[in-house]
A and B are shown apart, each in its own frame.
Chain A
Amino acid sequence: MKNHDNHISSYMLNWTVLLVLLMLTTISILAIKMHLGAYTVALALILASIKVTIVLTYFMHLKFENTMLRLMVGGVFLLFAIVIAITFTDYYFR
C-alpha cells in the first residue's frame, strides 16, 4: 500500500467540528423534551449518525485517507446496516 503524507488539520477546523458536535448534542437533548413520540428515537439515531460521520471524517481523518481505506470503513457500515435490517425484518414479518 502506498504511503501518503500526514495531514495536519488546522485548529480552526477542529474547533468548528467540536462546535457542530456540541450543537448536535444539544439538539439531541432538546428533542427529548419535544414529545415527538415514536419519532424521538428516529431523530436521536439520525443525529447520532451525523455526529459519527463528522467524527470519522474530520477527527479520524477519513477525509484525508485514500479511497481503499474509505471503502473499507464504508463496507463496515454497510455490513452493520444489513445485519440490523435483517434483524428488524424479522420483527416486521412476525
Chain B
Amino acid sequence: MNNTSATVPLNYLNHKTGLWSWLSSTDHKRIGLLYLYSITIFFCVAAVLGLLMRIEKFAPGPTIMTAQTYNGMFTIHGIIMIFIVVIPGLAAVFGNIFLPIMIGAKDVAFPKLNLFSWYIYITGACLGLYSQFANGHSPDTGWTFYVPYSAEASSNVVIALTAAFVLGFASILTGLNFIVTIHRLRAPGMTWFRMPLFPWSLYATAWIQLLATPIVGITLLMVIAERTLQIGFFDPTLGGDPVLYQHLFWIYSHPAVYVMILPAMGVVTEIFPTFSQKPVFGYVPIVFSSLAIALVGYFVWGHHMFTSGMSYESRWFFSFLTFLVAIPSAIKVFNWLSTMYGGSVDLKPPLLYAISFIFLFTIGGFTGLTLGSLATNIQVHNTDFVVAHFHYIIFGGMGFGFFAGIHYWYPKIYGRMYNFKWANIAWGFLFIGFNILYFPLFIIGIQGMPRRYFDYDPKFQTGQMISSVGAVILVIGLIGMISNLVYHVRRGAIAPANPWHGVTLEWQIPSPPPHENFDEVPVITHGPYVFDNPHTKND
C-alpha cells in the first residue's frame, strides 16, 4: 500500500491549521478528537494509578505506598475513570465524530455549545486532578463520596465534588445537543427506523445524560453545603439521613452505567453487520432494547444499597427490576450472535474487540445477577467480587467497546490504516491480561476479600498476585495498542474511503471526511444495513 499522497484533498484535519484552529473549532469531528485526546491522557493517568495499586497488593502489608496514599489512589482512580473517561467516553468521542455523519447532517444542532461543553469538561477534569494534589490531602472517600465520611473527612473532598459537579454540566449539554440533533437534523428520507443503531444508542444515552445528571449535581452540591454551611441533609449528627444520600447518588450513578455501556453496544452493533457483510439481525428489537435499558435502568438504583438499611419491600422491588433489566441486554447479545451467524465473518481487529466485548460483558452481566439477588448480595457485598463485576462491565464492556470503535473508525477519522498484526497482538495481551487481572478477584471476593483494603490476609495472596501479573500484561497490551494507533496516524498506509465495505453513511464519504461532511445532502431511500452481497438477505 502507498504510504504517501502527492495531493491531499481538503478535509476536516487540514482545512485549517494551527493550535488555535483546533481550540476554537466548532466542527463536530475536531471536537470529537479533542475529547479523544483528553480522554486518552486521563485514561493513561488513571491506568497508571490502577497499576500502582495492583503492585501494592502484590504482597500483604505495605510495599510501595502507605495506607492513606492507597485510599487517595483508589479514589482518584475512580473519579478519573468514571467521571472523566467512561461516562463521557464513547458518546463524546464517537458520538461527536460520527452522529452527524451517520444521520446525514453537516454538524450537531448547537456547534458552539458543543465546543463549550468540551471546555467545561476540561475545567472539571483539571479540578479533579487538582484535588489530588492541593494542600497535600488527596480525597479518600472513594468515587461514590458516601456520607457521613465525605461530609467529615479533612481531605480535598469539596474540590473533588466540585469537579464532578462541573463535569456533569458537560454531560448534560452534550446529551441535549445530541437529542436535538437527532430530532431536527436527520437527512431527508431518514425516518426513525432508517437510522443506524449507533445513533439510536446515543439517543437513549442522551436522555439518561439529560435527566439523571442534574440529580447527582444537586446531590453533590448538598454535600458541599453540608460541609461548608453545616446544613443537615445527610449527616446524622446534623439531623440528616445517609441512606438518602445513597438513594440520590445512585438515582444518577446507576443509569450512568448505561450512559457508559449503551454507546458501546451501539458501536459493536455497527461492527457485527459490517464484518459479517450481513444486515443486523433484529433491527427493531435492538432499538427497543436500547430504549428499554435506558428506561428500566432508571429504576434499579437500589440494588447498590441492599445492605445499607433499606426497607425489605424496597429491596425485593429493586431486586426484581434488576433481573428485569437483564432481558433487553440478553436480546442484544442474541441479536449480535445471530448477525454473525451465516455471515461472511472477517476476523479483523475491530471484530476481535467486538467479540471480546460480548464475552466480557456477558460475564459482567451474569455476575451482576449474583449481585442483584438479595441473598447472594449479602455474601459478596463490598468484596473484590464487586470490583471484578464492575470492571467486567465497565472496562470489558465500555473499554473494549471503545477499543472496537477506535479500530473500526480509525481509517475514517485519520484516512490512514494501522498495522493489523500489531493490533492483533495487542488485542491478545489486552484480552488475556484483562481476564488474568480481574477473574481472580471474583474468587477471592467470594472467599471474603473486602474491596478498598490496602492490606489483606495472607490467604488471599495467590489471587492478589495473579491479579497483579494480569495488570502488567494488560498494561503491555495497552501500550502496544496505543503505540500502534498513534504511530500510524501519520505513517500508516493511506486508507480507502470504505476499507471494511460498510454500508452506513460515514463509509460513503471520503476518508478523512470533508469539513462539512457531505458535498450534497444525502437523500435516504432505504434502511441502514442493506448489503450488496447476493448471499445475504437484506431487510
Q: Hey, which bits of chain A sit against chain B, CB under 8 A?
A: 1, 76, 79-80, 82-83, 86-87, 89-94
Q: Which residues of B contact A82 (CB under 8 A)?
A: 299
Known: A83-B251, A87-B247, A87-B251. A94 touches B310 (CB 8 A): yes
Stretch of B311-319, B419-427, B450-458 on the interface side: B311-319
Q: Once the chains bind, are A93 and B247 in contact (CB under 8 Å)?
A: no
Q: Which residues of B contact A86 (CB under 8 A)?
A: 299, 302, 314, 317
Q: Once the chains bind, are B314 and A89 in contact (CB under 8 Å)?
A: yes
Of the candidates A79, A87, A90, the one whose C-beta lies within 8 Å of that of B211 is A79
Of the candidates A1, A80, A93, the one whose C-beta lies within 8 Å of that of B311 is A93
Is chain A's binding surface mostly helix, strand, loop or mixed? Answer: helix
CA A87 – CA B302 in complex, angstroms?
9
Q: Which residues of A contact B302 (CB under 8 A)?
A: 86, 90
Q: Which of B366-383 contact A (CB under 8 A)?
A: none
A79 CB to nearest B CB, Å: 6
CA A38 – CA B310 in complex, angstroms?
24
Q: Once the chains bind, are B298 and A90 in contact (CB under 8 Å)?
A: no
Q: Once the chains bind, are A93 and B314 in contact (CB under 8 Å)?
A: yes
Q: Once the chains bind, are A94 and B311 in contact (CB under 8 Å)?
A: yes
B534 interface contact, C-beta 8 A? no
A20 CB to nearest B CB, Å: 26
B501 interface contact, C-beta 8 A? no
Q: Which residues of B contact A89 (CB under 8 A)?
A: 311, 313-314, 317
B183 interface contact, C-beta 8 A? yes
Q: Which residues of A contact B313 (CB under 8 A)?
A: 89-90, 93
19 A-B pairs (CB sep. < 8 Å): A76-B211, A80-B211, A82-B299, A83-B251, A83-B299, A86-B299, A86-B302, A86-B317, A87-B244, A87-B248, A89-B313, A89-B317, A90-B243, A90-B302, A90-B310, A90-B311, A90-B313, A93-B314, A94-B310
Q: CB-nearest residue of chain A relative to B210?
A: A76
B136 interface contact, C-beta 8 A? no
Shortest 10 CB-CB contacts between residues of A and residues of B: A93-B311, A90-B314, A94-B311, A93-B313, A87-B247, A90-B311, A90-B310, A83-B251, A1-B183, A76-B211
A50 CB to nearest B CB, Å: 21
For the complex with contacts A90-B313, A94-B309, 16 further pairs of A-B residues with Cβ separation under 8 Å are A80-B211, A83-B298, A86-B302, A86-B314, A87-B244, A87-B247, A87-B248, A87-B251, A89-B313, A90-B302, A90-B311, A90-B314, A92-B311, A93-B312, A93-B313, A94-B310
B184 interface contact, C-beta 8 A? yes
Known: A79-B298, A83-B298. A90 touches B183 (CB 8 A): no
Q: Which residues of B contact A93 (CB under 8 A)?
A: 311-314
Q: Which of B279-315 contact A (CB under 8 A)?
A: 298-299, 302, 309-314
Q: Which of B122-173 contact A (CB under 8 A)?
A: none
Q: Which residues of B contact A76 (CB under 8 A)?
A: 211
CA A92 – CA B312 in complex, angstroms?
11
Q: CB-nearest residue of chain A relative to B318?
A: A86
Known: A79-B211, A83-B298. A90 touches B247 (CB 8 A): yes
CA A30 – CA B309 in complex, angstroms?
38
CA A82 – CA B295 in complex, angstroms?
12
Q: Which residues of B contact A83 (CB under 8 A)?
A: 215, 251, 298-299
Q: Which residues of A contact B309 (CB under 8 A)?
A: 94
Q: Mark B377-407, 1 if CB is under 8 A from A, else 0.
A: 0000000000000000000000000000000
Q: Mark B96-109, 1 if CB is under 8 A from A, else 0.
A: 00000000000000
A65 CB to nearest B CB, Å: 13
Q: Once the chains bind, are A1 and B184 in contact (CB under 8 Å)?
A: yes
A43 CB to nearest B CB, Å: 21
CA A41 – CA B245 in complex, angstroms?
19
CA A93 – CA B211 in complex, angstroms?
27
Q: Which of B203-234 contact A (CB under 8 A)?
A: 211, 215
CA A86 – CA B302 in complex, angstroms?
10
CA A83 – CA B248 in complex, angstroms?
10
Q: Which residues of B contact A94 (CB under 8 A)?
A: 309-311
B12 CB to nearest A CB, Å: 28
Q: CB-nearest residue of chain B relative to A84?
A: B251
CA A83 – CA B299 in complex, angstroms?
7
CA A76 – CA B311 in complex, angstroms?
27
Q: Which residues of A contact B312 (CB under 8 A)?
A: 93
B313 CB to nearest A CB, Å: 4
Q: CB-nearest residue of chain B relative to A69?
A: B183
CA A1 – CA B244 in complex, angstroms?
41
CA A76 – CA B314 in complex, angstroms?
23
CA A82 – CA B301 in complex, angstroms?
13
Q: Which residues of B contact A90 (CB under 8 A)?
A: 243, 247, 302, 310-311, 313-314
CA A10 – CA B302 in complex, angstroms?
47
CA A91 – CA B246 in complex, angstroms?
13
CA A90 – CA B211 in complex, angstroms?
22
Q: Mark B239-256, 1 if CB is under 8 A from A, else 0.
A: 000011001100100000
CA A87 – CA B313 in complex, angstroms?
12
Q: Which residues of A contact B211 (CB under 8 A)?
A: 76, 79-80
